[in-house]
């Protein structure tokens, strides 16, 4: 058996998972090599896992997350107001298939963006597409899209991913153009795809922040229907890190 030729064929076919695993098998003593059926199964599993990993990496890159975060890194303590059961219920990302939203509130630095990103990256690992954008970035890009007549294209981009993370809601003043855009985003995604919103503002002040009653009613109605609300508590995690340093 010409193993070098087999490795070359795997490379030419772009079966990198099989290639890498087969190379590792060849390093083992001959008496430890798996038999034909077992080897084939192992190679197929390795290729499948490799493709899944590459797909996840691609989705994470396209999402433009603010952090690299995983659910296993989320600090789950009673003091933070975050229960393990609540996080576990979201970890399978079934909320996306139901078109449900997640609303995360809490003081600055308490880990809202990190938690939102961790959920987003978990979604990517399960084959869902995500997109992260802060509300100030959204406002800037909206203005630019109006200026260069690309607003429809921009709004279509926001409507496509399975999960859209809008970070720092309420950190800057909101005007009618932003209210209308937010309503359109919610309308385009309503009951089909999910949105995660993080905010320093307590949830019961969102209506007041939105200001204009008619648009506020429409936005809050679409945003809160079946939404999961997570209120993080405690001091700034960034402050804790600085104190440790």
Shared domain check, 178 and 148: yes
The pLDDT value given to residue 1: 62
Are 173 and 194 part of one and the same domain? Answer: yes
Average pLDDT over residues 19-43: 87
Same domain, 72 and 124: yes
Rounded to whole angstroms, how far apart are CA atoms 43 and 148? 50
Asked whether 99 and 189 are in contact (CB, 8 A), the reply is yes
Tell whether the model's pLDDT for residue 230 goes beyond 70.
yes
Query: Which residues, 6 or more positions from 163, have their beta carbon under 8 angstroms from its beta carbon?
Result: 93, 96, 119, 120, 123, 128, 129, 130, 131, 193, 194, 195, 196
Pairing between β-strand 228-231 and β-strand 130-134 as defined by DSSP bridges: unpaired
- pLDDT for residue 80: 80
Please indicate, yes or no, whether residues 139 and 171 belong to a single structural domain of this protein.
yes
Q: Which of 41, 62, 83 is the endpoint of a domain?
A: 62
Q: Residue 245: pLDDT above 60? A: no
What range defines the domain where residue 175 resides? 64-244
207 in the same domain as 174: yes
Q: How far is it, in rounded angstroms, from Cα 16 to Cα 174? A: 49
209 has a pLDDT exceeding 70: yes
Q: Which of 82, 124, 97 is nearest to 194 (CA)?
A: 97
Strand partners, 198: 104
Q: Which long-range contacts (CB under 8 A, 24 or more apart) does 77-80 make?
A: 77/234, 79/233, 79/234, 80/110, 80/111, 80/232, 80/233, 80/234
- Do 212 and 240 lie in a common domain? yes
Q: How far is CA 57 from the centre of its chain?
A: 12
- Kindly tell me if the per-residue pLDDT of 77 is higher than 80: no
The pLDDT of 27-47, averaged and rounded, is 88
Domain boundary among 13, 38, 62: 62
Separation of alpha carbons 42 and 178, rounded Å = 52
Residues 88 and 40: their CA atoms lie apart, in Å, by: 35
Q: Is 49 in the same domain as 165?
A: no
Residue 46 shares a structural domain with residue 86? no
**CATH label of the domain that carries residue 138:** 3.40.50.300
Residues 56 and 71 in one domain: no
Which residues make Cβ contacts (< 8 Å) with residue 193, sequence separation at least 6? 96, 99, 159, 161, 162, 163, 164
Q: For residues 228 and 100, is the Cβ–Cβ distance under 8 A? A: yes
Q: Is the domain of 72 the same as that of 192?
A: yes
* Mean pLDDT calculated for residue range 69-90: 83
What is the pLDDT, as a whole number, of residue 217? 94
Instruction: Classify 112 in phi/psi space as left (phi over 0), alpha (psi -120 to 50) or beta.
Output: alpha
Give the C-alpha separation, 159 to 8, whole Å.
43
**Banded pLDDT at 78 (limits 50, 70, 90):** confident
Whether 12 shows a pLDDT value over 90: the answer reads no
Q: Domain total for the chain?
A: 2
Would you state the torsion angle of the CA atoms of residues 207, 208, 210, 214, taken in this order, to the nearest 10 degrees?
70
Query: Which of 28-37, 173-182, 198-207 shows the lowest per-residue confidence on average (mean pLDDT)?
Result: 28-37
From 44, 62, 80, give the residue that closes a domain.
62
Average of per-residue pLDDT values in the chain: 89
Tokens 């939404």 found at: 227
The answer on 92 and 189 residing in a single domain is yes
Same domain, 213 and 120: yes
Tokens linked to 21: 């695993």
pLDDT of residue 243 exceeding 50, the answer is no
Length of the chain: 245
């Amino acid at each position: 058996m010409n193993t070098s030729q087999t490795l070359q064929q795997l490379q030419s076919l772009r079966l990198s998972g099989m290639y890498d695993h087969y190379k590792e098998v060849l390093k083992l003593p001959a008496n430890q090599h798996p038999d034909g059926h077992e080897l084939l199964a192992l190679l197929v599993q390795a290729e499948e896992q490799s493709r899944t990993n590459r797909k996840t990496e691609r989705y994470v890159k396209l999402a433009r997350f603010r952090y690299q975060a995983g659910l296993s890194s989320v600090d789950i303590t009673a003091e933070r107001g975050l229960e393990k059961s609540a996080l576990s219920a979201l970890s399978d990302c079934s909320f996306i298939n139901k078109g449900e939203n997640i609303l995360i509130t809490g003081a600055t630095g308490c880990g809202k963006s990190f938690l939102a990103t961790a959920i987003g990256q978990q979604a990517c690992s399960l084959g869902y597409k995500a997109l992260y954008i802060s509300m100030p970035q959204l406002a800037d890009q909206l203005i630019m899209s109006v200026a260069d007549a690309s607003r429809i294209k921009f709004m279509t981009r926001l409507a496509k991913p399975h999960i859209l993370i809008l970070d720092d809601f309420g950190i800057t003043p909101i005007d009618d153009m932003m209210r209308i855009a937010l309503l359109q985003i919610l309308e385009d995604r309503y009951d089909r795809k999910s949105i995660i919103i993080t905010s320093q503002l307590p949830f019961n002040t969102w209506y007041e922040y939105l200001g204009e009653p008619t648009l506020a009613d429409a936005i809050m109605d679409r945003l809160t229907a079946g939404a999961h609300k997570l209120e993080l508590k405690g001091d700034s995690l960034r402050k804790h890190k600085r104190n440790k340093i």
